[in-house]
A and B are shown apart, each in its own frame.
Chain A
């Protein structure tokens, strides 16, 4: 059993899981054995809504190189858009 440090954060948005779209409430990031990816360990990212049950989950299993690249891409996408356009405040004011 090789579950390493789990990071859990509240999130605000939506995710699409096996049963369709749901309101995303929590994201967890951990390094563990993947279920599907053909590697011994991967960076696993789950976006969840615990109130809706275990199936309200979007799951990713990425190598650490691609997980870091994804994190950079998120930063870059936000930097290249008008400041604050995707923030919770901007949506509320739209």
Chain B
């Protein structure tokens, strides 16, 4: 038994056969291990997201975060890349699904893989996690404060996003949702509406809405960080993945 891990930037095959940048962290003790695709938030493939990837490896899971902005801004600083993609209208849904599929295939190809795949995303990545879990066959999904799964974005937003509720019948995995009671996007009303639809469809899900927390309460480098919610949320995420990816 060892706690050694390896973390590095690699190239994977994403949507349309494109070669895209990704950040991989994996335990080195032989496995077998489940894999987690980490979908970064709208500010991009940044240092905080890479820290999340390494956290999963430290907890015994292989984790891989595709750089969703690889095509528009190869080699750019994460904030410059995010500004470019935001100005261009965001990441197309179809491309996101293809990139997550590519990341999942890469995780399954690792020599220590057990074949199980989880997906987790934050902010816009929360919505994209729901999209991926309804478009691909995965084993577990975690939506951290993803908005516009149920509601249309307010008019005038530059980012092209459409609600995904119509995809809920195809949800392929148990869903853990972690939300802030003070968040407006998604609001508690929006996540309640999603829960009601998942109830109606008989889907397995578990939602937690934290009092005193708003959007991005996991973000340790932002004033939105709420340690009590984040610590409890991390515990639930790791329990959830250990249950469904073992």
Are A18 and B124 also in contact (CB < 8 A) when A3-B86, A8-B87 are?
Answer: no
Within 8 A of B (CB), among A59-88: 59
With both beta carbons as reference points, the residue of chain B lying nearest to A18 in the complex is identified as B77
Q: Are A40 and B83 in contact (CB under 8 A)?
A: no
**B62-73: contact bitstring with A at CB < 8 Å (1 yes, 0 no)?**
000000000011
**A36-70: contact bitstring with B at CB < 8 Å (1 yes, 0 no)?**
00111000001010100111010100000000000
* Bound Cα distance A50, B80 (Å): 11
Q: Are B214 and A40 in contact (CB under 8 A)?
A: yes
Q: Which residues of B contact A38 (CB under 8 A)?
A: 223
Interface size on B, residues (CB 8 A): 34
Secondary structure at the A interface, as helix, strand, loop or mixed, is loop
Q: Are B43 and A33 in contact (CB under 8 A)?
A: yes
Are A3 and B42 also in contact (CB < 8 A) when A28-B87, A30-B158, A46-B83 are?
Answer: yes
Q: Are B158 and A54 in contact (CB under 8 A)?
A: no
Q: Are B73 and A54 in contact (CB under 8 A)?
A: yes
Q: Are B223 and A39 in contact (CB under 8 A)?
A: yes
* Bound Cα distance A33, B43 (Å): 8
* Bound Cα distance A57, B43 (Å): 15
Q: Which residues of B contact A50 (CB under 8 A)?
A: 84, 87
Q: Are A55 and B76 in contact (CB under 8 A)?
A: yes
* Bound Cα distance A76, B52 (Å): 46
* Bound Cα distance A1, B156 (Å): 14
Tell me, yes or no, whether B215 is within 8 Å of chain A by CB.
yes
Q: Which residues of A contact B154 (CB under 8 A)?
A: 4
Q: Which residues of A contact B156 (CB under 8 A)?
A: 4-5
Tell me, yes or no, whether A35 is within 8 Å of chain B by CB.
yes
Interface size on A, residues (CB 8 A): 24
Q: Which residues of B contact A14 (CB under 8 A)?
A: none
Tell me, yes or no, whether B132 is within 8 Å of chain A by CB.
no
Are A1 and B224 also in contact (CB < 8 A) when A54-B72, A54-B76 are?
Answer: no
Q: Are B80 and A55 in contact (CB under 8 A)?
A: yes
Q: Are B157 and A3 in contact (CB under 8 A)?
A: yes
* Bound Cα distance A54, B87 (Å): 11
Q: Which residues of A contact B146 (CB under 8 A)?
A: 1
Tell me, yes or no, whether B185 is within 8 Å of chain A by CB.
yes
Q: Which residues of B contact A8 (CB under 8 A)?
A: 87
Pick the residue among A1, A6, A28, A33 that contacts B222 (CB under 8 A).
Answer: A33
Q: Are A59 and B83 in contact (CB under 8 A)?
A: yes
Q: Are B216 and A33 in contact (CB under 8 A)?
A: yes
Q: Which residues of A contact B159 (CB under 8 A)?
A: 1, 3
Q: Are A1 and B77 in contact (CB under 8 A)?
A: no
With both beta carbons as reference points, the residue of chain B lying nearest to A46 in the complex is identified as B83
In the complex, besides A1-B41, A30-B86, A48-B87, 11 extra interface pairs with C-beta distance below 8 angstroms are A1-B148, A4-B156, A6-B157, A32-B86, A33-B42, A35-B43, A38-B223, A40-B224, A50-B87, A54-B84, A59-B80
Q: Please, could you name 26 A-B residue pairs with CB atoms under 8 Å apart, sorted by A?
A: A1-B42, A1-B146, A1-B147, A1-B159, A3-B42, A3-B157, A3-B158, A4-B154, A6-B86, A8-B87, A30-B158, A33-B43, A33-B216, A35-B43, A38-B223, A40-B222, A40-B223, A46-B87, A48-B83, A53-B73, A54-B73, A54-B76, A54-B84, A55-B77, A57-B80, A59-B80
